[in-house]
Structure 1
Amino acid sequence: MTSRMIPFPDISPEIFSISLFGMDFALRWYALAYIAGIVIGWRLVVMAAKTPQLWPRNTPTMTPAEIEEMLTWIILGVILGGRLGYVAFYQPAYYLQNPIEILYIWQGGMSFHGGLLGVVLAAYLYTRRGFDRFSVADAIVLGTPPGILLGRIANFINAELWGRPTDMPWGVAFPGEAAQFCPDVVGICARHPSQLYEAALEGLVLMVVLLWIVWRRNALKTPGYACGIFFAGYGLARFVIEFARQPDAQFISPGNPLGLAWHVGGYGLTMGQILSLPMILLGLWLIRRARALPHRA
């Protein structure tokens, strides 16, 4: 392993902590990322709702008050879906044996794909009142990338979800016994900062693309198009980054050192790639469907 690497920055996962009545309470960067991401996303969607000319027939699909009401459903979908998705996709056997720990969300363990399914279900239930579901989906995805961006940066600060060992000069020497357990590396092990790759592609780049197509290309005039761009864009970015991301330990074994969830003859896919493929296909279908619709001025 090359000596060129970046030492992990000395940033505490806790912003501050206080003690009250014999108990410690802390505000962590990860919690702040969730809060800030939701607030920024909400304001972006409200801003779009206050710009009638962006929408079909110059009529926003929802009012700011309706968006705020739906936000409660979205938050519940993110938390419940994210946790249950992690349990089902990544450690089902463990949580079947320890079901009470499903409730221990403060110990970590959230799945983006599970959270996405939770949001889809929450939005479906909320929009039974008669909203245009494709336009609502466009609004939701417009506000999603800021949370991904901040959440992945928080993952980096927490020194979690790091990447595979690398000899690239931007490899990071993450702390901890697990991060430094690299059987083929002598000395300090540097890893891909895959959290920052995801923050850049799934968060920043996707946010810029969505803002551009909404405000400059009138994407909201064709319901489902922005949603398709998000699904296909996120799925493709995550699929590619999985090549550099270290899989969860339960998928790694002596006969499967790459941690592939499905493989034949040494070739296969990680769990993240398996979950991303349906997103890519759904995104492409939504884009094709939206392009076939007449432009609603």
Structure 2
Amino acid sequence: MHSDTASARTPAAPTTHAAPTWDPQQYLRHSGHRTRPFLDLLNRIPELPTRPARIADLGCGPGNVTALLAERWPEADVTGFDLSPEMLRRATDEYAGRTSRGGRLDFRHGDLASWLPEEPYDLIVSNAALQWVPSHPGSFAAWINGLRPGGTFAFQIPANFSAPSHALLARLCETPRWRGRLAGHGARYIHILEPAEYQARLIELGCAVDIWDTTYHQLLTGTDPVLDWVKGTALRPVLTALGDDRGAVEAFLAEYRDLLREAYPPGPCGTVFPFRRIFAVARKEL
């Protein structure tokens, strides 16, 4: 799931938290903005070493971007892995099955913190999911080892966790009113590396690396659009922790909404929501 889908794994925190419950419909409300970075990543992935190719999508979320992999390589066998039952059900119902040129698209349960390639892959890709796995750089060696020679490991990861949307959420979770129930649920950006750090790690693993970052100045519309955005991603651990306590949910969202309104005031055409993302395409040596 993405990620933004964040359905890949529960973030590290001082105490053990339940895995977030995901809402595919809420996540897909901003599917245009969420899909654009994956398209930018997909455009930079080179041709794959074998046909039909074997492809893994780590943190596939509701499957909409996994389907784009099957469109580019319609003869390939493509598997999306995710930790969220809700996302997997949506992905399977919408996209699983044979492709137009005899390939296969399916979805399986998988925890990115422990996932290992069970067969050689031509492409392992992850879109907006690795931010939920604090240990993800430690998995790069095993994932690249699972690629065929000439295969590619590619990912896109949000890098906006110091932006007001996330900084305010972390601060609110630590206030006296909410600390007892929500401590640790809002801060999880410290394990995201900078582009040069990802580049160095991937080069050390014997890959030719294309890495870059982009800040998308997304124009969101509607009432409280930034709150609506984070309800699909960053707020999932908070909403899961508050559970069925509707009074607490409404009170927390009201406080957070007011903070977001001040940080992201609407303009004449909508609300600008800058969002930085890091991209990497690492091709294994032949």
Question: TM-score w.r.t. structure 1 length?
Answer: 0.27
Q: Which has the higher strand share?
A: 2
Question: TM-score w.r.t. structure 2 length?
Answer: 0.27
Larger radius of gyration: 1
